[in-house]
Structure 1
Amino acid sequence: MNRIHICLIALLCAVVTVNRLSAAKTDEVIVNTGNAIADVKSYGAIGDGVADDTDAIQKAIDSGKGRVVFPKGIYRLTRPVEAVLDRIGYLSIEGNGVARIEMAGEGPALRIIGTHQASADPGNFTERVWDKQRMPLVDGIAIVGKHDKAVGIEADGTMQITLTRLHLRSLLHGVHLVKNNRNVAIADCHIYHNRGIGIYYDNVNLHQSNITGCHISYCGGGGIVSIAGNVRNIHIAGCDIESNMSVDTPPTANVLIDCRGSNAGTAEVAITGCTIQHNNPSPDSANIRIIGNSDPTARLPKIREGNVTIAGNVLSDVQVNLHLKECRGVAITGNTLWQGYKHNILFESCSSIVMGANNLDRNPRYDYGNTADANNSVVMRDCDDCTINGLHVTGVWRD
């Protein structure tokens, strides 16, 4: 082999080696610096609050890069942007607190769609849920409604959807949970001044959901509302839930669970460590209202849902602070209740209610406006097999 051949072989080996090193370096850069990011402005979004950014944001989500980032700006949508997880794979939508979406069309600004229509039993999952869909994230974004029927975020068929650090305002509903979802986590969100419901369990099949550390206030149709459906394991903890009702809307509650219209209803609920308050002018307003009579079945002609714990909450300034109707198996302890204008506590047709040490006191500190009109009464009507122990009741009923 002559010297020229040797040099050519050496040069070829050097080129191959350099190419391999370059490829390895490129792969390392993508992994370590997060270059696989779909910046919505790179897909044509303007973010000036005037241009229609719907198509650009849809393209960014459909890119399949997974991490969709909104730089500072105001992004106008005219129709829902859909994230079909089975097609695009894992998803994280991030605004870092500086991005605002203005929904100028009907429906949800963000619709997250999965394929999981079963329980959370490990045997009920297809691999595609774990390979493409698990734990979609939405974090650090403001969504403001600019249409009467604009909604913030809708989830359907998701597993482990996680919503954090959101600002949802001037919408019909803030978070809309529909059809079937599992293992929902909502934390550190500000859901404020919406026409309808803050967090809406809308005839949904949903077990395992946590709502923690949120401010939910001034939503005209209720704060956290579960209607019909098949719902279990709602955990509401450490939230401030206030004035989610209106003088112009039908009676509702800051936390409303209504099992009617379903033979499964809502049960296995914990409401702990929250301030839940206001407002008494709204008709038949309540802080916590649970209507437990799910639809009868051939096996169970009379159903009272329950297995509920209500502990360590501060409740005030509504017509009825705590209203249970047709419930069974509710434990109530460590709560402070005042300014129940009709009743502090109203139980109707309930059984197996255990009420321990709660403080029902008319504090003279709250002596303004119509506060003297509050009855603060405790009424148990047509109930059986209930236990009351250590209940502190003072200053009820006016002359």
Structure 2
Amino acid sequence: MLRIPAERRGRFIASRAVALALLIALYGAWHGSPRFASSLKAQGEARVITTAHLAAVADGKADATATLQQLIDSGKGEIELPKGVYRLTAPIVVDLDRVGFTSISGNGVARLVMEAAGPALRIVGTHDGTAAPHTVKQNVWDRQRTPLVDALEIVGAHPEANGVELYKTMQPTLTRLTIRHCLHAVHIVTRNRNVQISDCHLYENRGVGVYMDGVNLHQINVVGCHISYNDGGGIVCRDSEIRNLQIAGCDIEGNMSPETEPTANVLLDCRNGSVREGAVVGCTIQHNHDSPDSANIRFLGESAEQPQKVGNFCISDNALSDVRVNIHLQHARGVTITGNTIWKGFDYNVLAEDCSHLVIGPNLFDRNPDYRPPNSTNCLVFRDCSDSTLTGLHVFHTLGTEAAVLLENCRWMNISGCTILDSDGAGLLLRGSDRCSVTNCVIRDEREDADDAPSIRIEGGRHQLSGNMVTGGIVD
């Protein structure tokens, strides 16, 4: 057994005691310092954000930004905000690849007030593929798919505040949201796939309700939403490549202002980009005719040289009214318009310019005497169009125009089975057009104050007319 002299044992024990005392002193100094307390508090909050933490910042006065961001960053995933008002001074970023699957719900009782530029919620993924399964990377399925935002109110309190932004996401689902007083309510950018927006109120924003802005996007459904009083447009696409856009069962109203640039309740601006394969079905779309060049549905293609960038679309079973132009198509190809009830087009019910392969089937273009003011023209105009079919149109009481239905510089147009009643000017005017067929139409004006315009007027070109029933004659 090794024996250590008593003197050496004493020195060793003394040195150990000094070292231990020094460590204790250093630990005590650090433990009592503000930096240690702050670090510990931050670490603790980063680990666990409790209902008490959320309640403390839900009074509409405290800045809730850091607390909510820590809650997202914790990876908790299922975020439920208790009742209250949460002030934000910076965007809350949901980095899906880092934090994993995430759902955010306010259960209808939580409000986010965005007091800074940018979105209240920025949902960020990394999906660079298409909607085809083989292009979706495994990390997207394992950490990112189907981010949910539900039952929240977002209110903008800054001129450049937005509601929700989607960036490179896969299957984002936005439901039961109320977004108001923002610049744009839902802002979809860069690249996304399989977007679902339903049962939302996007109301009274300075910009756009649903804004597809410079985005490559396939598969987006906007269903059962109330999108109204957004000054920059209701559902708007610009500078984008979109396929499979479905708009169904929505109320879309008054998304324009006399103080803004011309826009539309549904605007697909493809002068730089393309939008094809979609439908606007079963919606009420209307208001307001006081805004300059306002439209309910407006498709703008690229050019006369490239007139096919917007199309393969159905516009069906909608109620459209009270704008300058109800449906405006420019440089469009392959649009079917059928089953709609359309009235109060103050300049035009339909204006089609340089379009082809249109099928405009049975639609009602009426003038109900209960609706004021009574001075909308309600006419239909087709300019520089070709290879299209107009069939089963019911047109009643257009006012103040040279014709209820005008075809100007058109060719190879098939007009059949239309009813045009009690309208100012000619019922049907073919001007500078060629090789059009007009068959089995009923054109009547039996008003006491009817003018002496013909039912059908032809100004140039070779056409085929047969089986028409008219009261005002045909002038060739």
Instruction: Output the TM-score relative to the length of structure 1.
Output: 0.87
Q: Which of the numbers 231, 237, 240 marks the counterpart of 1:229?
A: 240
Q: Give CA-to-partner distance per residue, 1:118-148, whole Å, 9 cap, x none.
A: 2111111110000000000000000000000
Structure 1: give runs of 5+ residues left out of the alignment.
Answer: 1-35
Any stretches of 5+ residues in structure 2 without a counterpart? 1-46, 401-423, 425-476
| Structure showing greater relative contact order (alpha-carbon pairs closer than 8 Å, 6 or more residues apart) | 1
Paired amino acid for 1:268: E
Does residue 240 of structure 2 align to residue 239 of structure 1? no
* Conservation of the 8 A alpha-carbon contact between 1:337 and 1:360: yes
Residue 203 of structure 2: aligned partner: 192
1:282 Cα offset (Å): 0.2
**Does structure 2 retain, via aligned residues, the 8 Å contact 1:37–1:69?**
no
Q: Is the 8 A contact 1:317 1:339 kept in 2?
A: yes
Checking the alignment, whether the CA contact within 8 Å between 1:333 and 1:355 is kept in structure 2 is yes
SS at match of 2:90: coil
Counterpart in 2 of 1:47? 58
| CA distance in 1: counterparts of 2:356 and 2:304, whole angstroms | 18
1:223 alignment partner, SS class: strand
Question: Could you tell me which amino acid in structure 1 is paired with residue 394 of structure 2?
Answer: H
Report if the CA contact (8 A) 1:40-1:69 is conserved: no
Matching of residue 217 in structure 1 with residue 228 in structure 2: yes
TM-score normalized by the length of structure 2? 0.73
Cα distance in 1 for partners of 2:327, 2:310 equals: 16
1:277 to 283, 286, 306: 286
Residue aligning to 1:382: 384
State how far apart, in whole Å, the 2-side matches of 1:175 and 1:39 are. Answer: 29
The structure with the largest alpha-carbon Rg is 2
1:183 and 2:185 equivalent?
A: no
1:288 is displaced (CA, Å) by 0.2
Report the AA paired with residue 318 of structure 1.
V
Q: Which of 312, 316, 321 is 1:316 aligned to?
A: 321
Counterpart position of 1:68: 79
Superposed CA offset, 1:337-384 (max 9, x none): 100000000000000000100000111111x3xx22200000001000
* Cα distance in structure 2, aligned partners of 1:277 and 1:271: 14
Check if 1:267 corresponds to 2:267.
no
- The aligned amino acid for 2:283 is C
Does the aligned pair in 1 maintain the 2:294–2:323 contact within 8 Å?
Answer: yes
Instruction: Describe the SS at the equivalent of 1:235.
Output: strand
Q: For the Cα contact (< 8 Å) 2:303–2:331, is it kept in 1? A: no
CA contact (8 A) 1:105 1:146 kept: yes
Residue of structure 2 equivalent to 1:327? 332
- SS of the counterpart of 1:364? coil
Match of 2:178 among 152, 161, 167: 167
Given candidates 122, 127, 135, the residue that maps to 2:133 is 122
Go from structure 1 to structure 2 and tell me whether the alpha carbon gap of 1:318 and 1:397 turns closer, same or farther (over 3 Å shift). same
Aligned partner of 1:392 in structure 2 is 394
Mark the CA change 1:390 to 1:231 in structure 2 (over 3 Å): closer, same or farther.
Answer: same
Structure 1 residue corresponding to 2:218, chosen from 207, 215, 231: 207
What is the identity, as a one-letter code, of the residue corresponding to 2:59? Answer: D
CA distance in 2, matches of 1:163, 1:128: 22
Equivalent residue number for residue 22 of structure 1:
none
Identity across matched positions, percent: 55
Aligned-partner SS, 1:180: strand
1:77-125 Cα distance to aligned partner (Å, 9 max, x none): 0010100000000000010000000000110000000000221111111
How far apart are the structure 1 equivalents of 2:307 and 2:378? 31
Matches within 5 A, 1:280-291: 280-291=289-300
SS class of match (2:386):
coil
Return closer, same or farther for 1:380/1:45 CA change in 2, 3 Å cut-off: farther
Number of residue pairs matched by the alignment = 355
2:302 is aligned with what amino acid?
N
- Aligned letter for 1:277? Q
**In the superposition, relative to structure 1, how do residues 41 and 149 fare at CA in structure 2: closer, same or farther (>3 Å)?**
farther
